[in-house]
Amino acid sequence: MDPSDQKHFTVVDYVIFAVLLGASMCIGLYYALSGGRQRTTQEFLMADRSMSCLPVSLSLIASFQSAVAIIGVPAEIYSHGTQYWFIGCAYALGLFIPAHVFIPVLYRLQLSSAYQYLELRFSKAVRTCGTVTFIFQTVVYMGICVYTPAFALNAVTGFELWGAVLATGLVCTLYTTLGGLKAVIWTDVFQTLVMFAGQLAVIVVGVYRTGGVSEVWTKVWEGNRISGLDLNPDPTERHTFWTLAVGGVFLMLSLYGVNQAQVQRYLSARTEKEAVRSCYMAFPSLQLALALSCVMGLVMFARYCGDDLTDKLGSSSRDAMVIYFVMDMLQGLPGLPGLFVACLFSAALSTISSAFNSLATVTMEDLIKPHFPAMSEARATLLSKVLAMSYGLLCLAMAYLTHLMGDSVLQVALKIFGMVGGPILGLFCLGMFFPWANSIGAVVGLGAGLATSFWIGIGSIATHSSGTRPLPSNCIPVLLTNSATAAIQSALRNTTLSHPSALKRFYSLSYMWYSAFNSFTVIIIGLIISFVTGPMKEEDVTPGTVYPLVGKLLCFLPEHLKKKLCCVTPLGQTLSSQQSQPPEQKEISGWGLQQDRGASPGEMESFLPDGHTRLVEHETTV
């Protein structure tokens, strides 16, 4: 990028950006100094299970709406048209199933970490495998989220790259470490609003400067960027209605159903009903976030298609082009470039803080506490803060690794979710829907799922069959005009159109199918191994850890047949955690309530730090 074309910030922009970081810090400090002052893990990691549905729902959006979406989705729409928008069709089921299947099971078990479920249902080994897999996925994802905004800004504005990464990482680590989950959730609320405001500003100014709505629509229509309903059933087709609306459901379930960051938010709600309501309330906000980023891509297309930006942007990826577009639109409007940079970093901060906090929680609850049961509350809380800090530093290192990955951060992020989140989703489904599944089946199933997903993932990179479709000839996006890239495009067109071997087709499976494909692999392998090594019996399964899915699907069968199929266990009772737990119970419920095999589902046995046990009668509401 030659300096003459670099867009510069005015003082006002820097002030706005500093105000955003400052506001996040203040919210973090407020929660460090108010309430219980973050002195128990229940408060630091679970917000005292006192949150209401509005902040939880906005925090649910913020967790997986980072700069990757703010930059990656417009770049996707610019290059491939609005096909990606169909992922919105996956949001309905993608939130309905978590609200009515995963939340009831996980909430009634009163867990702190989603992976405690795996020990209750299977064994400690399965829990550890799930936790380690989640940690790997989140650390890689965090790296992408820290790197994306800094890289894009640096490419266009010369904004000091590693200075921005450091500023983001440190501010985020600080307020997360000081304020715990309460600070993370309330900064998420503030940052989500900044995110929406920033994107809206770019859209309004962009439409105005491109000649108004009708002008934008005409250019977009003629550039055939409005993709119709592509019902092509070919699973290697990168984006079709099926890969996005159906494959997308499994992606949503892996994130909003079983991902620790989201499960922790559900469990921080003061009642189960509040948690379900927050899931429902996330739907409109998710649709709004998707619409804003897609429209931004369309306005960008209306603005540049046909112009030649290659000389301006050089070899940097199309992701950087989004920032160029924003800076181009907002030039001369002091404060607005700063607002968009604040939007970008809000997106990044809200995701990274959720990642830090969930990593600290699972490391504490799943990997440390079980080995140090006598650890004092103060020491446990201090250790949680040290963990949040160390994950922060690890994240900066991962940011550098992202530097080495390909372009299109959106695709990289979605691939990670499919490759790692998919098998974890399969593991939870295996446990919740199939009472016969045993621990050996679960571990082998997870291993098979991860092995398959990395085999496809690496295979697709090796054979360059990332499924990029040839673009419509009438408007080769401006960044592809240079001959080298065009040559790759035509070479790619020839190889993929030649007779692809079965293996090549396997490698070119759309990454939007990874979540579905990998979760089914875990379930099928897990069931086979379970039946081979002796399936579990109904009475052996911890009550409250199985969702009678098969029973509900086969509701037409007579009761005695369903009993034979051992799939009619009633789910645990609806809990309102505040009423059901006596106050002294609170500080240890994060230790996971061990079910006494003999206790009836309504009774939960909990282990006190001093080794005594207490039967807690949970109120049962219909």
Ligand X SMILES: O=C(O)CCCC[C@@H]1SC[C@@H]2NC(=O)N[C@@H]21
- Interaction site with ligand X (CB under 6 A): 64-66, 68-69, 87, 145, 255, 286, 289, 351, 410, 413
| Contact partner, 32, from Na ion, ligand X, none, Cβ < 5-8 Å per class | none
Tokens of 395: 């994240």
Total binding residues for Na ion by CB under 5 A?
6
193 versus 476: smaller Cβ distance to Na ion:
193
Cβ(36)–Cβ(260) under 8 Å? no
Give the x/- contact pattern for Na ion in 295-334, rule: CB under 5 A: ----------------------------------------
Q: Which of residues 130-159 bind Na ion (CB under 5 A)?
A: none
Q: How far apart are CA 573 and CA 107, in angstroms?
A: 10
| Contact partner, 350, from ligand X, Na ion, none, Cβ < 5-8 Å per class | Na ion
Q: Least separation, in Å, of the C-beta of 73 and ligand X?
A: 8
286 versus 299: smaller Cβ distance to ligand X:
286
Taking contact as CB under 5 A, which single stretch among the options 161-169, 202-210, 254-262, 346-354 is the one that binds Na ion? 346-354
Q: How far apart are CA 223 and CA 213, in angstroms?
A: 15
- Long-range residue pairs from 11-14, CB within 8 A, at least 24 positions apart, any chain: 12/334, 12/335, 12/338, 13/334, 13/335, 13/337, 13/338, 13/341, 14/338
62 versus 432: smaller Cβ distance to Na ion:
62
Q: What HEC string does 97-127 produce?
A: HHHHHHHHHHHHCCCCCCCHHHHHHCCHHHH
Pairing state between β 613-617 and 603-607:
antiparallel
**How many other CB atoms sit within 10 Å of the CB of residue 300?**
26
Q: Least separation, in Å, of the C-beta of 255 and ligand X?
A: 6
Nearest to 279 by CA among 457, 53, 75, 499: 53
| CA-based end-to-end distance of the chain | 63
66 versus 83: smaller Cβ distance to Na ion:
66
Q: Least separation, in Å, of the C-beta of 180 and Na ion?
A: 18
Which residue matches tokens 């003082």?
A: 11
Q: Least separation, in Å, of the C-beta of 450 and ligand X?
A: 20
| Contact partner, 327, from Na ion, ligand X, none, Cβ < 5-8 Å per class | none
69 versus 327: smaller Cβ distance to ligand X:
69
Q: How far apart are CA 429 and CA 427, in angstroms?
A: 6
Choose, by CB under 5 A, the member of 347, 380, 383, 430 that binds Na ion.
Answer: 347
255 versus 398: smaller Cβ distance to ligand X:
255
142 versus 321: smaller Cβ distance to ligand X:
142
Q: Which of residues 28-87 bind Na ion (CB under 5 A)?
A: 62, 65-66
| Contact partner, 577, from Na ion, ligand X, none, Cβ < 5-8 Å per class | none
Give the SS3 label for residue 373: coil
| Contact partner, 289, from ligand X, Na ion, none, Cβ < 5-8 Å per class | ligand X
Taking contact as CB under 5 A, which single stretch among the options 261-269, 339-347, 488-496, 511-519 is the one that binds Na ion? 339-347
Question: Percent helix, strand and coil across the chain, each rounded to 5?
Answer: 70, 0, 25
| Contact partner, 286, from ligand X, Na ion, none, Cβ < 5-8 Å per class | ligand X
Cβ(566)–Cβ(601) under 8 Å? no
Contact residues: Na ion, CB under 5 A: 62, 65-66, 347, 350-351
